């Protein structure tokens, strides 16, 4: 695992945008896993700010987002799909048919998870996935606990995770969904390259444990220690001393 420290979130976001754009240039059919949350906002801003000349053509890229809430109305601003439209999809020339997303309002959620897993496999697997990390060490919505799920699944969100998503739902906890669909640990770990990004002092403990602690289901991000090509990008505040 490689750690890359940056002075601040902007420098980190810029470096990540450069890396992703270079990956697209090298492989126009890149299959890219993407996160939501506060941490990647500056990264998406950097991507939006790049002209076509600066960032390779997205027309053949495929994306798969990590997770989505269960049972949030199609038009709701809190949906991760809505976040991605606002932050990235509306601003680059990704083909709508190349956007992979979990449907949290599908009639059969188990079938939806199986469909998603198959769609990623049919695309040839993820070439590169960008991940955030929860203060509790979750990646995607793989929450800490006595066991973890390998594949895309339905999951119950823990209180800290619901709290950190409150802003998406008018700051009202009762509106934050209790459940979500998420890529599983194997879905993530089978990506050829993994980049985890962490900014701010609230992440420093999770980052320290991820890098040097035991590999444990109680800190799902610790499994990245097993990945042959994992990079952890941190700003100064999230960087363990």
> Distance between the two ends of the chain, CA-based, in angstroms?
17
- Minimum distance of ligand PGA from residue 91's CB (angstroms): 20
Closer Cβ to ligand PGA, 46 or 164, answer by number: 164
What is the C-alpha to C-alpha distance for residues 155 and 149, in angstroms, rounded to an integer? 9
Number of residues that bind ligand PGA (CB under 6 A): 7
User: Looking at the annotation, which residues are catalytic?
Assistant: 67, 136, 138, 143
Least distance between ligand PGA and beta carbon 82 (Å): 15
- The CA–CA distances, whole Å, from 219 to 32, 161, 206, 222 equal 24, 14, 8, 6
Q: Which is nearer to ligand PGA, 167 or 215 (by Cβ)?
A: 167
Sheet with 179-182, side-by-side order of all strands? 67-69, 179-182, 153-156
Q: For the window 24-53, what string marks contact with ligand PGA as x by the rule CB under 6 A?
A: -------------xxx--------------
Q: What is the footprint of ligand PGA within residues 49-78 (CB under 6 A)?
A: none
Q: Is 241 helix (H, G, I), strand (E, B) or coil?
A: coil
Nearest to ligand PGA of 61, 168 (CB atom): 168
Three-point CA angle 102, 222, 29, nearest 5°: 45
Residue list 206-225, contact with ligand PGA (CB under 6 A): none
Structure tokens at 68: 């989505």
Least Å distance between CB 92 and ligand PGA? 21
Smallest gap from Cβ 164 to ligand PGA, in A, equals 5
**Contacts of 45 by beta carbon, 8 Å cutoff, 6+ apart:** 13, 87
> In the window 111-170, what residues touch ligand PGA (CB under 6 A)?
132-134, 164
Residues 6+ apart with CB under 8 A from 5: 234, 235, 236, 239
- Contact positions vs ligand PGA (CB under 6 A): 37-39, 132-134, 164
């Amino acid at each position: 695992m490689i750690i890359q420290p940056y002075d601040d979130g902007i420098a980190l976001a810029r470096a990540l945008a450069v890396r992703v754009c270079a990956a697209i240039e090298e492989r126009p059919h890149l299959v890219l896993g993407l996160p939501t949350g506060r941490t990647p906002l500056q990264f998406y801003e950097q991507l939006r700010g790049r002209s076509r000349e600066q960032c390779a053509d997205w027309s053949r890229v495929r994306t798969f987002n990590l997770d989505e809430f269960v049972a949030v109305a199609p038009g709701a601003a809190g949906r991760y799909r809505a976040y991605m439209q606002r932050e990235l999809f509306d601003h680059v020339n990704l083909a709508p048919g190349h956007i992979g997303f979990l449907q949290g309002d599908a009639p059969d959620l188990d079938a939806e998870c199986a469909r998603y897993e198959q769609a990623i496999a049919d695309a040839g697997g993820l070439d590169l996935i960008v991940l955030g990390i929860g203060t509790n060490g979750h990646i995607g919505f793989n929450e800490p606990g006595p066991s973890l799920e390998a594949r895309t699944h339905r999951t119950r969100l823990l209180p800290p995770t619901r709290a950190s998503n409150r802003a998406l739902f008018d700051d009202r906890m009762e509106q934050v969904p209790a459940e979500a669909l998420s890529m599983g640990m194997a879905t993530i770990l089978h990506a050829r390259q993994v980049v985890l990004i962490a900014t701010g002092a609230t992440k420093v403990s999770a980052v320290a444990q991820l890098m040097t602690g035991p590999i444990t289901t109680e800190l799902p991000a610790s499994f990245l220690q097993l990945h042959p090509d994992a990079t952890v990008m941190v700003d100064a505040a999230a960087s363990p001393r």
